Amino acid sequence: MKKLIAILTIIFLFTLPIFSQKDFNYLKKELKRAGTSKDYSSSPYLLIFDKTFSKVMDSGLTYTTIKRFYKILTDNGIKKLKSLTFYYDPLSAHIEIKKALIVKKDGKIIKIPHNKVKDYPAPARAIYWGAREKIIPIENIDIGDGIYIETYKKGFTYALLFQDDEKYIPPMKGHFYDIVHFYSRIPIKLKTYKVSIPSNKKLQYEFYNGTARNYVHFLKDRIEYFWEVKNIKPYRKEPNMVSPSDVFPKLLLSTSPDWKAKSLWFYKVNEDYGSFEYNKEIKDKVNEIINGAKNDFEKISRLTHWVAEEIRYSGLSMGKGEGYTLHKGTITFRDRCGVCKDKAGMLITMLRAAGFKAYPAMTMAGSRIDRIPADQFNHCVTVVKYKNKYMLLDPTWVPGVRELWSSAEQQQEYLMGVPEGADLKTTPISPPEKHYLKYYIETNIDKKGNSISTIKIIGEGQSDSMLRRFFTRSQVSEWDNRLKSEISELFPAANIIKISYQNPYDISKPMSIMIKFKNLETLISGKQNRYIHPILSSLPFYYAVGFSRFSDNLKKRSYPFRTRCSQLIKINESIKFPYSFKLINKPELKTVKGSGADFKGDIYKKGKSIFINLSIKLKKRIYQPEDWESFKNTIKQFKQIKDNFIIIRGGK
């Protein structure tokens, strides 16, 4: 039967209509009508059309034809289109370049021969699954020329013909899904998507963040769905905004009935494969790790951090099943490496060896998962039954982190692969108080105007992890010099007296750093007044402050935005003088309270000292546009201190 299908497929290929003169005339006409660089601002090139047609078989195997026609608008467009690259995974898919043409602006057609197409191993870092790429060199092109590319794919990624079709059937057999972006960084005159499925399959779909012309046609034994959008303008990102797929037009399609069905499939495919079987070597290691643990939580914590630290992030291909099946725990334990799904699988294996009920879960780091059950996943984590509830664990994101589940993943959807099945869930907001960053700063000024400053910094949660990374991303021998450089860059005349810090590899308590130094820049004397430059106006480790990469220039936002994590920032600074003085001027601080952030600050004189106390609360990781007002005003208030002096009068 397979041979007959292969023969029929070959006959179909060789009876495909040849590109006719009518087709050539159509391309010439569209190229002429497309417009010039004046019509498309500074875009380097234009997509005249982008047309996709997918044909879904009963097995879920999908054949896809994509036709794209580019027009070069600028010199930069020539540079960007000097080659076109198509990625694929040969284990599950391939791609064939059916046609490649250059349509010159004078109407001449140049065919790019098939032998010009090159097939290379795709560049890889940390994940070595054997992905490949096909590259088409585009030569002798000018502004105003067009490039037409037609590709033919099959598989649940991409695929070629003349292969055994069975290996390209999607993992969830009989089902089809697709995610189609109707947004672009370049202008598109016309984008269409058409899919034909057997009439016995139920397809659910939704078009998000926009509208499209669409129709459904009922044919003899198939149903055809179609979407079309014209004149797609390049999208413009706002600083620190969420993923483009969360806010710009996209189409999701799936024949999977719901997320519970996907959950049950994910549970079964890994249980059937035996991903979590353990041997005596693993059992002995687990017993060694949990020996002496006071309770179940401590056992879970020890195992999570062992996997986080001891299983290197490096993905080696398991062959068939790679990408959706978790490697067996015995393999990961032997190799001491794997990607997120394998680290999650290793933790599940060890938790089961310790007597816990544990399972995998899928999530999407960096963007939202919507209700249509298409495979919107790029990350795998672990869930464990603890006190009759499922608790999330992430051995990939918690090396050097005191948490078991990274709060940089809060407000993120996930799907558990559990025996009873589960619906899509969302991780809750983590209270800012769990991620505090506290500064205690003391400065003593002598009669000559010299000063000695001491800074103590303590971080917890994700703030703790940010401080640790300062050390752990460099050699131990460099740590002291890096700390000295951090101070010297902010205060060039500083003279370091003492530095101390907790071992960054010891996560038993929050990270702390202490720096003591002579600072010649705190006090600037004028004819009558003295100008105070507080330490917090040039804050060490400012990168760990959640809004450090934000500007307050945007009056309002159109899209949601995000920080690394919710956070509480507290700064207490005192400046002590050897004489009495009068406080002449200080930055005026206003209290901010809102849905995005809170700010409270005070600057006051007491005795011979000035005290500055600040409290800043960043309330979540993902913010809505209406949260920007309080977030922006919090930044403005902090800048009041950074950009202005405190002025005093008195002393000699």
Mean pLDDT per block of 10 residues along the chain (652 residues) reads 41 48 89 89 94 94 95 96 90 86 94 92 83 92 96 63 54 88 97 97 96 96 97 95 97 96 94 94 98 97 97 79 78 93 96 98 94 92 96 96 95 97 97 98 88 96 96 93 92 92 95 91 76 90 96 95 97 94 93 98 95 98 98 96 88 62
Q: How much is the pLDDT for 18?
A: 59
Asked if residue 78 lies in contact with residue 143, where contact means CB atoms within 8 angstroms, the answer is: yes
Q: Which residue has the tokens 């997509």?
A: 47
pTM score:
0.90
Residues 90 and 152 in one domain: yes
What CATH code is carried by the domain that includes residue 365?
3.10.620.30
Residues 265 and 396 in one domain: yes
Residues 236 and 296 in one domain: no
Nearest one of 251, 189, 227, 236 to 50, comparing CA atoms: 189
Structural Rg of the chain based on CA atoms? 30
Q: How much is the pLDDT for 45?
A: 97
Q: State the number of CA atoms in the 13 A half-sphere of 195 facing the CB.
A: 24
Q: Edge-to-edge, what's the strand order for the sheet holding 413-416?
A: 389-393, 379-386, 358-363, 413-416, 425-426
Asked if residue 145 lies in contact with residue 103, where contact means CB atoms within 8 angstroms, the answer is: yes
Q: What is the rounded distance in angstroms from the CA atom of residue 111 to the CA atom of residue 106?
A: 15
Q: How much is the pLDDT for 9?
A: 40
Q: What is the rounded distance in angstroms from the CA atom of residue 599 to the CA atom of residue 545?
A: 14
Residues 454 and 469 in one domain: yes
Q: What is the rounded distance in angstroms from the CA atom of residue 105 to the CA atom of residue 113?
A: 20
Q: How many domains does the chain have?
A: 3
Give the phi and the psi of residue 217 in degrees, each rounded to 5: -115, 130
Structure tokens at 247: 């806010």
Asked if residue 128 lies in contact with residue 317, where contact means CB atoms within 8 angstroms, the answer is: yes
Sheet strands (E) in 387-494: 389-393, 413-416, 425-426, 436-445, 451-459
Q: How much is the pLDDT for 596?
A: 98
Of the three residues 255, 282, 317, the one that is the final residue of a domain is: 255
The DSSP code for 241 is B
Residues 302 and 221 in one domain: no
Structure tokens at 257: 């009935």
Of the three residues 200, 233, 255, the one that is the final residue of a domain is: 255
Domain, as residue range, for 302: 261-428
Q: How much is the pLDDT for 91?
A: 75
Residues 414 and 437 in one domain: no
Residues 483 and 631 in one domain: yes
Q: How much is the pLDDT for 159?
A: 29
Residues 446 and 492 in one domain: yes
Q: Which residue has the tokens 């710009």?
A: 248
**Pairing, β 436-445 against β 451-459:** antiparallel
Q: What is the rounded distance in angstroms from the CA atom of residue 471 to the CA atom of residue 481?
A: 11
- What type of residue sits at position 49? F
Tell me the CA end-to-end span of the chain in Å, nearest whole number: 100
Residues 57 and 159 in one domain: yes
